[in-house]
């Protein structure tokens, strides 16, 4: 997942969460009757009338296709990132080319860190099998 997708996920989750909390608190206030002058029920006659028109099914189908498109875009944004491509190094006038494989460099660095037993997490006791620290 890219950083942009992760940041967008967090922002959207925050917005949806805030909206849901506001709607929930509003529903509780409405049900408790804390404010006078609020209606007991909400009717939407325009929506009921719109459901009987010829374009309603097309509009719902369009919204559904839009949701499917957004869902597919979201899935594509969350696919695992690919491996780094090999890097070719050369300068003008050089006879040959050097190719570096970033995966091999990362693997070698990880292996080196795994072999280093002197690395101890902060505030942890060293294990009895850990190699002693070099004295200077």
Segment 67-79, tens digit of pLDDT: 999 999 888 888 7
Compare 106 and 126 and report the one with higher pLDDT.
106
Distance of CA 1 to the CA centre of its chain: 7
Query: In percent, how much of the chain has pLDDT > 90?
Result: 24
Compare 18 and 45 and report the one with higher pLDDT.
18
Lowest mean pLDDT segment, chosen from 24-28, 29-33, 127-131: 127-131
Decide: 96 and 90 in contact? Cβ < 8 Å: yes
pLDDT for residue 33: 80
The CA-based angle 48-53-57, given to 5 degrees, is 95
Compare 48 and 84 and report the one with higher pLDDT.
48
pLDDT for residue 9: 87
The CA-based angle 104-100-83, given to 5 degrees, is 55
- Beta strand pairing status for 87-89 and 98-100? antiparallel
Compare 51 and 78 and report the one with higher pLDDT.
51
Q: pTM of this prediction?
A: 0.47
């Amino acid at each position: 997942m890219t950083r942009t997708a992760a940041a967008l996920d967090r922002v959207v989750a925050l917005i949806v969460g805030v909206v849901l909390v506001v709607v929930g608190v509003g529903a509780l206030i409405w049900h408790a009757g804390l404010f006078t002058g609020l209606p007991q029920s909400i009717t939407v006659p325009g929506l009921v009338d719109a459901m009987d028109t010829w374009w309603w099914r097309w509009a719902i189908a369009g919204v559904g296709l839009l949701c499917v498109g957004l869902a597919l875009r979201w899935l594509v944004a969350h696919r695992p990132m690919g491996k780094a491509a090999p890097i070719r190094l050369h300068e003008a006038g050089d006879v040959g080319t050097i190719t570096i494989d970033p995966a091999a460099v990362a693997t070698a660095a990880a292996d080196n860190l795994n072999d280093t037993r002197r690395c101890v997490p902060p505030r942890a006791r060293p294990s009895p099998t850990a190699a002693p620290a070099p004295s200077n």
